[in-house]
Amino acid sequence: MNRTLDSSRTSWLESASSRSTDFPIQNLPFGVFRRAGASGPGTIGVAIGDRILDVAGCQRDALLEDLPGRVQRACLEPALNALMSLPRGEVTALRERLSDVLAEGTAQPRERERASRLLVAQGEAEMRLPCAIGDYTDFYASIDHATNVGRLFRPDNPLLPNYKWVPIGYHGRASSIVVSGSEIRRPVGQVRPEGADQPRVAASARLDYELEVGCLVGQGNELGRPIPIDEAHDRLFGLCLVNDWSARDIQQWEYQPLGPFLAKSFATTISPWVITLDALEPFRVPAAARPDGDPQPLPYLDSASNRARGGIDLRLTVGVRTRRMRELGSPVSWMTESEFRRMYWTVAQMVAHHASNGCNLRPGDLIASGTVSGPSERERGCLLELTSGGTAPLTLDDGETRTFLEDGDEVVIRGSCERQGFVRIGFGECRGILTPAEG
């Protein structure tokens, strides 16, 4: 494992050693920020403790001069796409260099002095989308989610027969992906209430979130050239958190026969920091074991390495902070804790499947996992599951109840990875506040 992951490595920046930080020196996620009040394009940075290290500034101050020219040029771009398009090894080299600049003992005094002038407080920065996202695909990789949702629609036959053979997904909408913190407007659409013989147009009354993990593509593949499963991780740049906002009443009416459309395309929120595959290396675990009697994956979706290390031990949580909680200063009411390692299909299987017909994945494309749910009630990753289709209201920490989201509700997703002998890393937050429908 590379030296950036060594648990004895510490930063000269004190906040990076705080036990509660998501961003110790072992993490160094990439993002794009703008100094508060500044206009113009964003700047690439890495999160460290409660600061952001300005990576473009590092290039201009000659802190990256040993790296290849194309790596240095990519650091000056206003989005991560150019960096994402480089071979994974070159991004690894950049990450090692940034780690050395920030680490106690490896940074030369003059480097440390220069880098310390390139730190921006996260509280004084506005995060942007990390990259231009050309395409967005959303999978359905949690068998517990697929079963819970399927049961609401088809009590006798919750799981369709293809589920255990083919990773199910749909093409989402890239233009409406927004960064954490953006307001989400409640959509208006065609709905057909229970018992009505005709649809009507109305603001969605069954608005939901979906707790998901997103993969941002790195180098990807050429059109016509599938990605072998054992190369899948090397074609990715990193992971983020995703909230796939979903209007269940619009979805219920429109989804057959081609799947979700306007019920999902009005907005998707992603977290601003991209956690690299390098930083996630210590947290790779065996793919979830398939129960006896389930088919083994077809050869293009199977490999010894995927079985041994295809899972990622990432714990996720989602909560709601209502308008009243914000007014009273109450904390988020956490509702769900689920584990990404339980997914029926691994990240590598989703990537290999996506490219198996020759479809090209391009730098910055977003591949989301689908709602991450687990077998117990506490592990349900959306309100549709938590409230059994809106029939069993949920009581929040302050006594308020919800079936679906109300205007003013803020949904917050967090994720973190822990393992004995390694430093805990976090994903930061993916949050969005719901505002009333237009008009």
The yes or no reply on residue 365 touching Mn ion (CB under 5 A) is no
The yes or no reply on residue 379 touching Mn ion (CB under 5 A) is no
Contact 91, 235 (CB under 8 A): no
From the list 79-87, 204-212, 340-348, 409-417, the region that binds Mn ion by CB under 5 A is 204-212
* Interatomic CA distance for residues 169 and 154, integer angstroms: 19
The yes or no reply on residue 385 touching Mn ion (CB under 5 A) is no
What residues numbered 171-190 form the site for Mn ion, per CB under 5 A?
A: none
From the list 59-67, 203-211, 335-343, 394-402, the region that binds Mn ion by CB under 5 A is 203-211
Select the residue whose beta carbon is closest to Mn ion and give its number. 244
H-type helices in 32-155, by residue range?
Answer: 55-60, 69-75, 81-84, 88-102, 109-116, 143-153
Closest Cα to residue 177, out of 368, 27, 29, 323?
368
Q: Which of 145, 233, 353, 354 is catalytic?
A: 145
Contact 384, 245 (CB under 8 A): no
* Interatomic CA distance for residues 412 and 392, integer angstroms: 22
Burial of 307 (0-12, 13-18, 19+ CB in 10 A): middle
Choosing from 135, 144, 208, 244, the residue that interacts with Mn ion (CB under 5 A) is 244
The yes or no reply on residue 138 touching Mn ion (CB under 5 A) is yes
Is 171 among the residues known to form the active site?
Answer: no
Number of residues that bind Mn ion (CB under 5 A): 3
What DSSP string runs through 138-182?
EE---HHHHHHHHHHH-TT--S-TTTTTS--EEE--STTEEETT-
**242, β-bridge pairs:** 212, 270
* Interatomic CA distance for residues 320 and 411, integer angstroms: 5
Nearer to Mn ion, 85 or 373 (CB): 373
Nearer to Mn ion, 115 or 149 (CB): 149
Q: How far is the CB of 436 from Mn ion (least distance, A)?
A: 24
Nearer to Mn ion, 55 or 372 (CB): 372
Q: How far is the CB of 188 from Mn ion (least distance, A)?
A: 20
From the list 113-121, 158-166, 243-251, 406-414, the region that binds Mn ion by CB under 5 A is 243-251
Nearer to Mn ion, 114 or 173 (CB): 173
Q: How far is the CB of 265 from Mn ion (least distance, A)?
A: 12
Two tokens at 267? 């907005």
* Interatomic CA distance for residues 353 and 57, integer angstroms: 39
Contact 21, 50 (CB under 8 A): yes
From the list 117-125, 133-141, 146-154, 320-328, the region that binds Mn ion by CB under 5 A is 133-141
Strands (E), 150-262: 169-171, 177-179, 183-185, 188-191, 200-203, 207-208, 211-217, 236-243, 246-247
What residues numbered 65-94 form the site for Mn ion, per CB under 5 A?
A: none
Contacts of 37 (CB under 8 A, 6+ apart): none
The yes or no reply on residue 210 touching Mn ion (CB under 5 A) is yes
Nearer to Mn ion, 24 or 381 (CB): 381
Q: How far is the CB of 9 from Mn ion (least distance, A)?
A: 37
Nearer to Mn ion, 277 or 366 (CB): 366
Q: How far is the CB of 317 from Mn ion (least distance, A)?
A: 17
From the list 72-80, 241-249, 299-307, 403-411, the region that binds Mn ion by CB under 5 A is 241-249
Q: How far is the CB of 371 from Mn ion (least distance, A)?
A: 6
Identity at 149, one-letter amino acid code: V
From the list 35-43, 63-71, 124-132, 238-246, the region that binds Mn ion by CB under 5 A is 238-246
Nearer to Mn ion, 72 or 349 (CB): 349
Nearer to Mn ion, 54 or 144 (CB): 144
* Interatomic CA distance for residues 435 and 219, integer angstroms: 37
Two tokens at 176? 């409406």
Q: How far is the CB of 347 from Mn ion (least distance, A)?
A: 15
The count of other CB atoms within 10 Å of the CB of residue 109 is 7
Two tokens at 174? 């890239």
Q: How far is the CB of 70 from Mn ion (least distance, A)?
A: 35
Looking at the annotation, which residues are catalytic?
145
Q: Footprint of Mn ion on this chain (CB under 5 A)?
A: 138, 210, 244
